[in-house]
Amino acid sequence: MQRSRIPAFGVNVIGPVSGNLGLGVLTRHVVSLLLSQGCPVRILDIDPKLGRGGHDQRFAEHTVASVDELTYPVTFLVSTPISIAEFLRDRRNRGLLSRRDGLNAALLNWEQMVVPDEWARVLAGLDVIVAPSSFTRETFEEALPGVPIISMKVPLRLPEVVRGNHARFGLQPDTVWFGSSFEPQSDPARKNPFAVLEAFGRALPERRDVGLLIKVNNATVDGRTHPVMDELRARTRRDGRVVLLEESLDYDAVLSLYASLDVFVSLHRSEGIGLGLMEAMALGKPVIATGWSGNMSFMDRSNACVVAYELVPVRSGTYVYSEEILGPRAVWAEPDITNAAEWMRVLVEHQDVRTRIGRSAREAMSRYQEEAQRGLFLDELRMILESEVCWGIGQGRKKARRDRLKRSMVEGEPQSAWPAGTRLRRLRLLARKAGLRKGRFPFWIPPRRDKS
C-alpha cells in the first residue's frame, strides 16, 4: 500500500470562542488545552448573536477572518447539533470540509436523548464525533451508527488561586449561601431555576442565617430583557434572603462568585455537560444536582448531593426542544423538589457533612481533570487522520461520509445564507406549525392559557 504524505498537524477550531455563553467557555477551555499540548491552532470565531460575541479576546492572535485561512488538516467544530448541521450544509464551506487529506470532527453538546432525523442526515457527513459525556455519547451512538465516536473528558483551565469575595457580590457574612446560575437563552425550562427557589423555600422557611443567590447570564441582550425575568424578579422579591444577580461577569469573576458560595445547586431537567457544576466541584463546593444526563459523567453519590428524579415528556417553549423538532419520544428529568430540600436542610444543619462532600468533590474533580488535561481525544484524532490519509484505511467509509456531506450541501440551503426576511418568514411558519407564538424576544414561547 502506498503511503500518502500527511500535512503538518494542527487543528482548525470553529465555534463561539469569544462568546459570553457556556459554549464560549467550553470552546476556550478546549483551545487552551490544545495550545498546552503544543498543537498549532487556527480559530474561526462564530458570533453567537444576541450581543454575546466578542467578550473574550484572549485568543485573538490565533483567530482568522474566513474559512479560507483554516489550513490545518483537522477541522474541529464546537457547538450545538443544529448549528453544526447548518455549517456543514453551507456550500461556502465546501473547500474546507471536502479536503481529501482532512478530518472533520465535532464536539457536540446536546441535552436530549433524541436527535432529529433532519439533523442526523447532515451530521452523518462528519468523520468523527467527540462526546463530552457518556450521555451525549450514547445519544449519538444510537442516532449516528456510521460515524466513529470518541469520548473526551472536559478540560477546565482555572487560575491557580480563586478567592471568594462576599462583599463584591452583596453576600452577608455568617450566612450559609446557596447559589445557582443559568442563562435564559439556554432555555429556562431546561435550566429550571424556579425549582431551586421552591426547594430553598421548602427547606428553610424560617431561618435567617441562610441565603440563595441566583446568577443570570445575559438576562438582557440587545436592550431586550428575556420574558422569564419578570416572573423571576417577582418571585425573588418575595423572600428577602434571595439575591438576584444580573450583572455581566468575566470568567474570573464568575469563579470568584462560586468560591463565595457554600453550596452550588442545579435542579436542571437536562445537561449535555454541566460546566457550572464542574467548576463548583473543582473549587471544593458541595453540589446539589439532578442525578440525570451529562453531569453524571463526573458526579456520583460519593462526591455530590444527587437529587432523585422522574423522567417526563419534554415541555419547552424553546424551538429546538419543541415536539415539532424532537417528536413525542423526547423525555427529560423532573427533579424531586422534596429531595433537594432535604439536602439543603442537611447541609445547613451539619457543617461537617458540607465540608466532607465539598472535599470529596474537589478530589473527584482533581482526578477527572488530571486525565482531561492529557487530551487523549487529540491523540485519537491524530491517529484517525494518520490511518486514513497515510495508509488509506477506511477510505470507502470516508468517501461515503463525504458523499453524504456533498448531498447535504446540495439538498439544503443553509440558514446562515438566508436573507433576513426569508429567514424570519421561515421561522414564523415553523413556529405556527409548532403551535407557538412570538414573544418580546427573538425566540418562541408557548401561548398563554387561561387558568381554570
Who's near 82: CB < 8 A, 6+ residues apart?
A: 119, 320
**DSSP annotation string for 240-305:** TTEEEE-----HHHHHHHHHH-SEEEE--S--SS-HHHHHHHHTT--EEEESSSGGGGT--TTTSE
Assess contact for 434 and 322: CB atoms under 8 A: yes
Separation between Cα atoms, residue 292 and residue 239, nearest integer Å: 29
How do 437-438 and 444-445 pair as beta strands?
Answer: antiparallel
Q: Please, what is the end-to-end C-alpha distance for the chain in angstroms?
A: 74
pTM (2 decimals)?
0.89
Distance separating alpha carbons of residues 295 and 129, to the nearest angstrom: 19
What local confidence, expressed as pLDDT, does residue 354 receive? 98
Q: Tell me the domain boundaries of the chain.
A: 11-155+374-415, 176-372
Q: Under the phi-then-psi rule, with left for phi > 0, alpha for psi from -120 to 50, and beta for the rest, what region is 122?
A: alpha
Q: What is the distance between the alpha carbons of residues 49 and 101, in angstroms, rounded to a whole number?
A: 33
The closest of 144, 135, 216 to 183, measured between CA atoms, is 216
Contact between 131 and 137 (Cβ < 8 Å): yes
At the topology level of CATH, where does 176-372 sit? Rossmann fold (3.40.50)
All three cell numbers of 122: 447532515
Q: Hey, which bits of 109-261 come out as E strands?
A: 128-131, 149-151, 176-182, 210-216, 220-221, 224-225, 242-245
Tell me the pairing of strands 41-45 and 11-15: parallel
Sign of the dihedral defined by the CA atoms of residues 394, 395, 399, 405, in that order: positive
Report the pLDDT value the prediction gives residue 4, as an integer from 0 to 100. Answer: 62
pLDDT on residue 412: 58
- Predicted pLDDT of residue 152: 98
SS3 161: coil
pLDDT in tens, the chain (452 residues): 455 666 789 999 999 999 999 999 999 999 999 999 999 999 999 999 888 999 999 999 999 999 999 999 999 999 999 999 999 999 999 999 999 899 999 999 999 999 999 999 999 999 999 999 999 999 999 999 999 999 999 999 999 999 999 999 999 999 999 999 999 888 999 999 999 999 999 999 989 999 999 999 988 877 788 889 999 999 999 999 999 999 989 999 999 999 999 999 999 999 999 999 999 999 999 999 999 999 999 999 999 999 999 999 999 989 899 999 999 989 999 999 999 999 999 999 999 999 999 999 999 999 999 999 999 999 999 999 999 888 889 888 888 888 888 888 887 554 443 333 334 334 444 444 444 333 333 333 333 333 33
Q: What is the pLDDT of residue 450?
A: 36
- The beta strands (E) that lie in 80-230 are given as 103-108, 128-131, 149-151, 176-182, 210-216, 220-221, 224-225
CA–CA gap between residue 79 and residue 225 (Å, rounded): 24
* Same fold: 11-155+374-415 with 176-372: yes
pLDDT at 188: 94
Contacts of 86 (CB under 8 A, 6+ apart): 414, 415, 416
In CATH, which of 3.40.50.11930, 3.30.110.30, 1.10.3720.10, 3.90.1300.10 is domain 11-155+374-415?
3.40.50.11930
Q: What are phi and psi of 368, to 5 degrees?
A: -60, -45
* Cell triple for 104: 472533520
How far CA 137 is from CA of 14, 101, 156, 229, in Å, comes to: 21, 26, 20, 34
φ, ψ of residue 92 in degrees (nearest 5):
-70, -15
